[in-house]
Every structure is written in C-alpha cells, then in structure tokens.
Amino acid sequence: MSHWLTTILIVLPLAGALVVWLAPLPRAWVGSLATLVSLLEVGVWIIALERFDFGSAALQLAQQHPWFRDLGVSYHVGEFAFSLWLVGLACVCGAAASAYAWWVGRERPRAYFGLLLFLEGAVVGVFSAQDLLLFYAFFEAMLIPLYVLIGVWGGAGRLGATLKFVVYTVAGSLLMLVAIVVYGLQQGSFDLTKTGTSANDWLFLGFALAFAVKAPLWPFHGWLPDAYREAPAEVSGLLSGVISKVAAYGFLRIAIAKFPGPAHDFRVPILVLASIGLVYGSLLAFRAPDFRGVVAYSSLAQMGLITFGLFAANDLGFDGAVLQMVNHGLITITLFLLAGMVERRTASGQLSQLGGMARGRPALATVLMTVGVMALAVPLSSNFAGEFLILAGVFQQYWLWAVVGAAAIVLAAMYMLRLISAVLHRAVGPAVSEAALDLRGGELAVVVPLLALLLALSAWPAAVSARVYPAGQALALAAGPGGALPGACGSAALAAAEAPRLDAAARPLACRSAGRADAVGASR
C-alpha cells in the first residue's frame, strides 16, 4: 500500500482535474469539488507523513514502472524527507488556492479549477519524480496550466505577462532538456537514484540556468513583476509559494547532488548573484508602489536567501533552506491572498490609494500584521529560525555572505513595515471606502489555517528543520553510487573539496554539531 502513496498524491489532483473538465456537473459544484479534492490530497499527504520513516535516508514510498527501456527511462517516483515537506507545501497551498478561488467565484469555473488541480498534480510530480525525464515532463507540464491561468484570468496586462513568462521559462527549461539528454546518455540511465555524479560544467550550467529562471534568481527575474502582478491572486501565491520552490528543489536534488564539482566551482558566482538578488529585491520591494509588487520583490529576495542556504553546502544551510522554503511558501501565499482580498475591497493595489484599513477591520489588521511580522523574521517566528540557520550555514563559507544576509533582514523589516503601515495605518486612502468590509468568514477560513500552520512552525521549527534528512546522509545517498556532496563545514570546506568524494559522504555527520557550535559562537 505504501508504495502507492506517492502515485496517489500525483494522480489524485490530475484525476480531479479530469472529472472537473469532463463530468457534466453543475457549475456551482465545481469549486467545492476542487476544494474537496485538494483537501483530500492534504489528507493523503498526512497519511504519507505518518508512514514516513524520518530516520532512514533511503527513498521511501517509492514505485517504479518501466516507461521505455532502450534509453532506460522509467516512471519512478518516491519521497525523501525534504521532498515530502515540499509536497506537503504544495498540497496545503493548492488547497488554500482552490478554496480562495471558490470563495471568489472565478469565471469559467470548470476550466479554472481543472487547471488549478492539474497544476497541483504536476508540482507534486516534480517533487516526487526520481527519473530525470519524468522530472522534466512534470516540470514542463506545470507551465501549461500556468500559461492559461495567467493568460485567461489575469489582469489587463496579462498577454504581455504570459509571453515574458513563457519565453523565459521555455528557454531555461529547454537548456535543461539538452543537459538531461547528455547527462542521461553519459550515465546510461535517467534514474536519479542510479546515476552517479558528473563533473561537466556545461551540464551543471544547463540545469542551474533553468532553475535560476524558474526561481527566479537575479538577473533572470524579468518575468517576475509582470506575472506576479497580472495573475489572479491565488495563482500568484502558487507561483511564488510553490513553483519557485520547484526551482530550489531542483538545485538541491539535481544541480548540487549530481554535480558536486561544478557546484563547488560555481559557488562564489552563484552566491554573488543570490546576494545581489537579496539586496536588490529588498530595495525594489521597499520602493514598489503596490501591495503585490512588495510581495513579488520580497519573493525575489527570499529566493536569494534560500539559494544562500543551498549553496552553503553544509547541514545548517540545507536544513535552513528547506525550512525556509516551507516558511516562505506559506507566508507568501498568505500575503498574496491578502493582497487579493484587499484589491477586491478597494479595486486597487496601489499603496498610495490604500491606508487606514485597520480601523473597523480588526480581522484583516490582525492577520496582515501577524503574517507581516513573521515575514520580517522577528525572533520566535519560523522565518527567524530558517534565516538564522541559513546565515549560520553560509557564515561558514565566508563571513561576508552572512553580513549581506543579515543586512537583507533589516531591509525586510523596512519593506514589510512600510507595507503594513501603508495598508493598515496612516490616513484613510482614497480607494478605501467605509463600505469595504472586514475579512469574511470564508476568507478567514482560508487564511487562518495557513496562519495556524505558520504559528505551529514558529513554535516548533525543528519539526521540519530536524527532519530534512537524517544526519547529512540522504543527499549523499541520493546522489547515487559513488556520489557525495563536496560540502563540509567551517575551515574544512577547502580540504573537503579536494579530498576524495567518498570521504565527504561521512564528513557532514562529524561536523554537524561542531558547525552548529561555530555558528552560534559566530553569531555572537
């Protein structure tokens, strides 16, 4: 039974999409059916979570079926601990998006909800695929619903936004296809659990560029502001909450795990890009004229931070990056949904038109304030835990990175507080009428569970961060025979890169505690 769970997680939303598209249901039922399916998906995920053994580094809940043999391609799915968390993020965000879209009552509901479910299935597929071609298939399949969701239901500038989005992502992902073909044929298999590591810089760059566009990392973020502004609110939430995590996951699972040498060689350039994105994104968020612009650019900054954690190449960084992926996913979808709710009340997202919404709207004020404060990583929030781990991890690479990251946290406080005050406080804006209601029951039913999850994670961030993989082993195993991470910690990093790869597999275990102690010492 267990080995079917991953397949069920992938197929359930896809089947739901087919039912929504093809079954002659009354229109009014479609939204509720889609929400039900996505809640059911969350339920299946909880069952998977319960059956998952976090003490084991092996691929679990796995299933394999040959697809075409002459090139060694198979339908191979399964979960590692970190991918299971991201699947959970996708399920929760998908459910929130469906529920919100149902509440809003999108036009052409059958097409809309079918596409939402299809998107959810494809995203779960990307996180679960253990075969490169399958991974690519799901990765590209995500683009189909996104293209239509933005292009049909988006705002006035939707056609330009979709064109930019598609051209950027197709260019990136086709480079990845080249890399996949070459890598798979070189290795003689496309199975991620069987292939070993490669030292080819070009292949690494092919993968890295695709993920850098999808994330996006500076300077590949050209599509981001338009797409995030024009898409329906819940689609923007999914884009920045879940789809960007696909890119981070790709870095983790493929670019870093399969190309340890190039990942080490390109670490400094990638960290430089990430820090530029971090600072530049934060500054743009501070200058953005509208609600969604702030969230969109803050997302660019946060992806820079997550990249920091991934390329810190030590346990602290990885743990922090995965925790931060979950945090940021939940925070950003909540913020985008709130942006949508504010826009519905005021018909404007321009901060100059908003203001003074706190008075008489306690629920909105409470929710926005709570999420905003978490987003700026106040101590005790889950974001704080994630960012702390990342900064501690990247500090071991070089102290300057941690300084940049810490500066970005200050900038995050600036743009989030500006957003909160521009929406909730100050004088009542011209677009805010007395008739603009507080959050309604339906909206609270979407946002409050997300908030509750964030509070739970704040209380117990180790629920995720300590279960990313057991003691530094999983990624080394995931890299297949002979594969291991070059990463190590602290001053050992240089030596580790030159040491035989097999030794490196054992090293993270030894320096895990030492690294933490260093980090704590350093942060003082």
Partner 1 sequence: MIHGPHVDWFAISPSLSLLAATAALLMVAVFAPRAARRPVSALVCAAGFVVALVFAVVLDDRSAHGAAIVADAIFRDRWAATGQVLIAACGVVAVLISYGERMREENIAEYYALLAAAGAGMAFFVQASNLMTLFLGLEWFSIALYVLCAIDIDLVGSLEAGLKYLIIGAVGSATLLFGSALVYGATGQLDFDRIGAAGRGHDSLLVLGLAMVIAGLAFKSSAAPFHMWTPDAYQGAPTPVTAFMASATKVAALLVTDRLLLTAFPRDERLWTWAIAGIAIASLAIGNIAALAQRNVKRLLAYSSVSHAGFMLIPIAAANALGARALVYYLIPYCAMSLGAFAVVAARERELAAPVTLDNLAGLGWERPFLGVSMWVFMLGFLGFPLTGGFIGKFYAFAAAYEHGWWWLIVAGVAGTVVSAAYYLAVVRSMFMRDARELQLAPAGGSPPRDRPLELAVSICLVVTVGSFFAVQPLIDVAHAAARALPF
Residues near partner 1 (CB under 8 A): 66-71, 73, 108, 133, 136-138, 140-141, 143-144, 147-148, 151-152, 158-159, 162-163, 166-167, 170-171, 174-175, 177-178, 181-182, 185
CA distance 178 to 180: 5
Q: Going by C-beta distance under 8 Å and a sequence separation of 6 or more, which residues neighbour residue 151?
A: 158, 159, 162
88 or 145: whose CB is closer to partner 1?
Answer: 145
Which is closer to partner 1, CB of 185 or CB of 471? Answer: 185
Q: Which is nearer to partner 1, 173 or 275 (CB)?
A: 173
Q: Are the C-beta atoms of residues 509 and 471 closer than 8 Å to each other? A: yes
Least spacing, CB of residue 109 vs partner 1, in Å: 13
SS3 per-residue string spanning 163-189: HHHHHHHHHHHHHHHHHHHHHHHHHCC
Minimum separation from the CB atom of position 152 to partner 1 (A): 6
Least Å from the CB of residue 304 to partner 1 = 26
The amino acid present at 510, given as its one-letter code, is: A
CB of 137 to partner 1, least distance (A): 4
**Cα Rg of the chain (Å, integer):** 22
Is residue 459 packed enough to be buried (19+ CB in 10 Å), middle (13-18) or exposed (0-12)? exposed
Nearer to partner 1, 36 or 170 (CB): 170
Q: Which residue has the tokens 């929504």?
A: 20
Distance separating alpha carbons of residues 381 and 383, to the nearest angstrom:
5
Q: Which is nearer to partner 1, 47 or 148 (CB)?
A: 148
Q: Closer CB to partner 1, residue 120 or residue 443?
A: 120
DSSP states of 220-233 as a string? Answer: S-TTHHHHHHHS-H
| Smallest separation (angstroms) from partner 1 to the CB of 346 | 27
Is there a contact between 162 and 147 (Cβ–Cβ < 8 Å)? yes
By C-beta, is 126 or 285 nearer to partner 1? 126
Asked whether the beta carbons of 108 and 20 are under 8 A apart, the reply is: no
327, two tokens = 């945090």
We find the least distance from the C-beta atom of residue 205 to partner 1, in angstroms, to be: 13
To partner 1, the closest distance from the beta carbon of 23 in angstroms equals: 14
